[in-house]
Copies of this chain bind each other. A is one copy, B any other.
Amino acid sequence: MKALVLRSAGQLSLEDVAPEPIPPGYARVRLLAAALNHRDVWILDGKYAKIRYPSVLGSDGCGIVEEINGPDRSLVGQRVIINPNQHWGGDERAQSADYTILGMPSPGTFAEFITLPLDRLHPAPQHLSDEEAAALPLAGLTAYRAVAVQGHVGSSDAVLIPGIGGGVALFALLFARALGARTIAVTSGAAWKLERASALGADCGVLYTEPTWADALRRRVGGFDLIVDGSGGEPFNQLIGLTNPAGRIVLYGATLGGVPMLDVHRIFWRQLRIIGTTMGSDRDFAAMLAAVEQHQIRPVVDSVFPLAQYAEAFDRMRRGEQFGKIVLRISA
């Protein structure tokens, strides 16, 4: 089968590799589509913990179950999406020390076939195209846990989602809207992204390239009860300043790095909570799928590339131009 193999830092190539055997309790899935995540770019660039070469990358996928080694063959022929968690463990609050994400070290979804334990496979929501279904798992899981599980979004909440356009931020917008947030504001560096977010349900959009972005948010919305941030860095203290008493800042990433001189005084005086979150448990994954079906949520797909044009897909993600998920089409 064809697979996108990471040979060394920066070195990806589409190669013929032997499909894996199917152990008892496992299934072989013929992949229809897979989606890129920042994680794939960081691994490609050698900026990730415990990288192994060679590896087949890719954490997100949608495919057709071709073969099952086991008595229950009910999923054969069905379209499924893949839960990218491996070994979360028994604690809902945090992943175990053995936890990994599909696609390095285990072979990922940028391939024609993948072999996985049956419990990683869920029927794909019927209202989604193959590309939309492939776009859902990692970013949808991360956003659902951030907004619903860690952030406990509710109908009295004003929600702020900085940096709209990335996969997790867009899913956070969709889930916050579906789960009934009172008001949702977003920020971006591009006016066209704010317009797109508005069409998806954001009530207010502000350019973070304006030095007065925080004042503009305060003037237009007031304070925020829930902020879902994947950036950290210098703007984080301004997020703290925008948080209402007893507000929550759920932090799922740090693309801007550490926070210089964290404003501790506001955190304790306003009784704020800064809540770290990563991915989500298997229970979160099932709850996320149920919410997607109940609210007929459609992932935002930025663009679709054939697997052979993977280099263009990676370049697009690296340039940060995308609005939504970048998808690789693998087979018809």
Bound Cα distance A261, B236 (Å) = 11
Residues B251 and A94 in contact, CB atoms below 8 Å apart: no
Interface membership of A265, Cβ < 8 A: yes
A270-B261 CB under 8 A given contacts A95-B245, A246-B93: no
Tell yes or no: A91 within 8 A of B by CB. Answer: yes
Q: In the complex, what residues of B have CB within 8 A of residue A105's CB?
A: none
A30 to chain B, nearest CB (A): 33
A232: nearest residue on chain B (CB-CB)? B264
Residue of B nearest to A272 (CB): B276
Within 8 A of B (CB), among A204-263: 232, 236, 245-246, 251-254, 257-263
CA distance A270 to B274 in the complex (A): 13
Q: Which residues of B contact A259 (CB under 8 A)?
A: 259, 261-262, 264
Determine whether the beta carbon of A258 is less than 8 Å from that of B258. no
- A271 interfacial by beta-carbon distance below 8 Å: yes
Which residues of B have CB within 8 Å of A245? 91, 93-95
Select A278's contact among B94, B254, B262, B271, beta carbons within 8 Å: B271
Chain B residues near A22 (CB-CB < 8 A): none
Total residues of chain A contacting the partner, CB 8 A: 35
Which residue in chain B gives the minimum CB-CB distance to A273? B275
Given A270-B276, A275-B273; A261-B258 close (CB under 8 Å): yes
In contact, B271 and A273 (Cβ under 8 angstroms): no
The answer on a CB contact under 8 Å between A269 and B278 is yes
Q: Which of A101-152 contact B (CB under 8 A)?
A: 150
| CB-CB under 8 A for A94 and B271, given A254-B265, A265-B254 | yes
Given contacts A263-B258, A264-B254, A265-B254, contact A270 B232 (CB under 8 A): no
| 16 other A-B residue contacts (CB within 8 Å) besides A258-B261, A260-B261 | A94-B245, A150-B271, A232-B264, A236-B264, A251-B264, A251-B267, A251-B268, A252-B268, A254-B265, A258-B263, A258-B264, A261-B261, A262-B262, A268-B277, A271-B277, A273-B275
A-B contact pairs, 20 of them (CB 8 A): A94-B245, A94-B270, A95-B271, A232-B262, A254-B264, A254-B265, A257-B264, A258-B264, A258-B265, A259-B262, A260-B260, A260-B261, A262-B262, A267-B276, A268-B276, A268-B278, A269-B278, A273-B273, A273-B276, A274-B274
